[in-house]
Structure 1
Amino acid sequence: MSLRLSTVILPVDRWHEGGREKWRRAEELGFHAAYTYDHLSWRTFRDGPWFGALPTLTAAATATERLRIGTLVTSPNFRHPVTLAKELMSLDDISQGRVTLGIGAGGSGFDATALGQEAWTPKERADRFGEFVPLLDRLLTEGAVSQRGTFYSAEEARNLPGCVQRPRLPFAVAATGPRGLKLAARYGQAWVTTGDPKLYETGTPEQSREALRGQVEKLGKACAEIGRDVAEVDRILLHGFSPERNAPLESVDAFVDYAGRHRELGFTEIVIHWPVADSDFATDPAVFESLATEALAQLG
């Protein structure tokens, strides 16, 4: 099974002071895709520069020609399907069909209360996500949509001429629970996971791989329940939130071992963070570039 390598570029640089060059370099290095996080602020980066995902991706679309681009991930925390659909359709057009929408239920971080609301419980996030994704699917595949929902509604919402990618741009659904995996099975062209967050601090790499194996199996069962072949769904692993930490990024050999073990679990794409100095992602830039140019060739 072939394996793709992608990167996630945090939106921390002014576009004309290093931002544009990173996206162009990602294309030059041969990454399959470059994603960015769709947050208003995020973790330890909260008090520093942080730019908007969709304007950044629009700029990236005009600065590159072949590289796929996308969010990893967008959530309902501060988005509405009607306005998001219009922006995504436009971005798909500007990029000439190179956009993937990573989408998840959201979390309890800074985005959860930035609009002045109380943070939603996990059940409330799941309820909203379960309504958000099907409506967004309709908005991106139908010319005009009217729908009344508990959380999200549309009234004659029009998205003409539609996406360049048909029937719509692909969804990469981030999920680990049963409700989210059912959404991934029904609406996702890809599925995204970071692994089991409970293992990050005290787990072992072996425990992490076993947890991932279980998640892959659950995705397969969710697909089987609706008569879908799980092979139709790309399986994306976002690196950086498992017990291995940055160890797999310390050398090409270490990454080849890491990637090979996860390919055996059924993953088709691994995403690594572009180096950010003085952060959890402060990996060696030279080694990082070597991963892009050498690692997959060694996997064969």
Structure 2
Amino acid sequence: MNLRLSTVILPVRPWHGGGSDQWVRAEALGFHSAYTYDHLSWRTFRDGPWFGAVPTLTAAAGVTERLRLGTLVTSPNFRHPVTLAKELISLDDISAGRITLGIGAGGNGFDATVLAQEAWTPRERADRFAEFVALLDRLLTEGAVSQAGDFYAAEEARNIPGCVQQPRLPFAVAATGPRGLKLAARYGQAWVTTGDPKLFETGTPEQSRDALRGQLARFEHACAEIGREAETVEKILLTGFTPERNTLLESVDAFVDFAGRHRELGFTELVVHAPIPDSDFAADEAVFEAIATEALAQLG
């Protein structure tokens, strides 16, 4: 598989205050996909503007024509498979089949307690995630679904006519643990990682690549266990969370070096954050645009 370059646009700008322009620019720069985070608020942006993922992607579908669009990632923290499936089918229709669902188990951030619930333990998150993904897969591929699970239920849930993309829109499953990797192997058209969080502060680039190499090997093993060829699944690295995060977008050369090393590991898609001034994702706009238009050509 060839290396693809995509971007993630955090939903912090009003649509008529620069938000729309970012999605149009992403398509003009030639990115393969443009994703957004599916949170209700997030980290240092909690006390500032933050807009909903599904309405944002709907609007983005209306101002673009070729760019793939998606979440990176949606989680069960405040979503239910039945209502999410209806929104995704509608999005896939509006975009003429350009939607990818990035999906993960979620964490202990603001979304975990915003509905006045106790944050789930890691095991509870894994249990819910497994049921969530399996039911969502059914909802997006069957016309009517009834199911009573431990956490999620559906009664005659109708999703006609289904997705534009058949048999359903692709799942990009974020996972690093054994249960999540098995879900990615079974249901994912792509697998997503951000690297090893334990190396975020003090790790070296070499340690990070070793950790990613191990994650890739475990994913390949999960595929082999069910008789699936791992080569048929896209491998996505969401950048910005590895030790190179502060130098990654400093120059085209720095990014090309990073991209080449991670392509050699086996990644097929790299996702870079669109710059946001005065934040952890601040970067030179001119360098960002040059990376989008020049980096893959330099890799050959």
Matched residues in 2 for 1:238 and 1:245: separation? 11
Q: Which moved more, 1:267-276 or 1:244-253?
A: 244-253
* Structure-2-length-normalised TM-score: 1.00
Distance in 2 (CA, whole Å) between partners of 1:131 and 1:49 is 32
| Paired residue secondary structure (2:140) | helix
Q: Residues of 2 paired with 1:15 and 1:144: CA distance?
A: 35
Corresponding residue for residue 51 of structure 2: 51
Aligned to 2:135: 135
Amino acid at match of 2:293: T
After TM superposition, the structure 1 = structure 2 runs for residues 1-300 of structure 1, keeping only pairs within 5 Å, are 1-300=1-300
- Tell me the alpha carbon deviations over residues 89-141 of structure 1, each in whole angstroms, 9 at most, x when there is no partner: 00000000000000000000000000000100111000000100000000000
| CA distance, structure 2, for counterparts of residue 29 and residue 175 of structure 1 | 29
Distance in 2 between the 1:62 and 1:248 partners?
A: 31
Cα-to-partner distance string for 1:165-220 (whole Å, 9 max, x where unaligned): 00000000000000000000000000000000000011100000000000000000
Q: Structure 2 CA distance, aligned partners of 1:26 and 1:283? A: 16
TM-superposed CA distance for 1:246, in Å, is 2.6
**Partner amino acid, structure 1, of 2:191:** W
Gaps (5+ residues) in structure 2?
none
Instruction: Give aligned-pair identity as a percent.
Output: 81
| CA distance in structure 1 between the aligned counterparts of 2:8 and 2:99, rounded to whole angstroms | 14
**C-alpha distance in 2 between matches for 1:11 and 1:96:** 22
Output the amino acid matched with 2:248.
P
AA partner of residue 226 (structure 1): I
How far 1:245 moved relative to its partner? 1.4
2:166 aligned counterpart, secondary structure: coil
Distance 2:16 2:248 in 1: 31
Q: Distance in 1 between matches of 2:200 and 2:265?
A: 19
> 1 CA distance for matches of 2:244 and 2:296?
19
Moved over 2 A (4+): none
Look up the equivalent residue of 1:50 and give its one-letter code.
W
Counterparts of 1:171 and 1:243, CA distance in 2: 27
State the AA in 1 paired with 2:21.
E
Q: Is the contact made by 1:20 and 1:63 (CA closer than 8 Å) also made in structure 2?
A: yes
- Separation in 2, partners of 1:295, 1:246: 18
Residue 2 of structure 1: how far off its partner (Å): 1.4
Give the CA deviation at 1:11.
Answer: 0.1
Using the alignment, how far apart are the partners of 2:265 and 2:156 within structure 1?
A: 44
Residue identity opposite 1:31 in structure 2: F
Q: How far did residue 47 of structure 1 move? A: 0.2
Letter in 1 for 2:168: R
Secondary structure at the residue paired with 1:245? helix
Q: Which runs of 5+ in 1 are unaligned?
A: none
Paired residue type of 1:196: D
Query: Partner letter of residue 199 of structure 2?
Result: L
Which residue type is aligned with residue 93 of structure 1?
D
In the aligned structure 1, how far is the partner of 2:29 from the partner of 2:115? 38
User: Which whole-Å CA distance do the structure 2 matches of 1:226 and 1:214 have between them?
Assistant: 19
- Tell me, yes or no, if the aligned pair for 1:246 and 1:283 is still in contact at 8 Å: no
Q: Secondary structure at the match of 2:139?
A: helix
Deviation at 1:80, TM superposition (A): 0.2
Alpha-carbon distance between aligned partners in 1 of 2:228 and 2:257, rounded to the nearest angstrom: 31
Distance in 2, Cα, partners of 1:226 & 1:116:
39
Structure 2: how far apart are the matches of 1:246 and 1:25? 24
RMSD value, Cα: 0.5
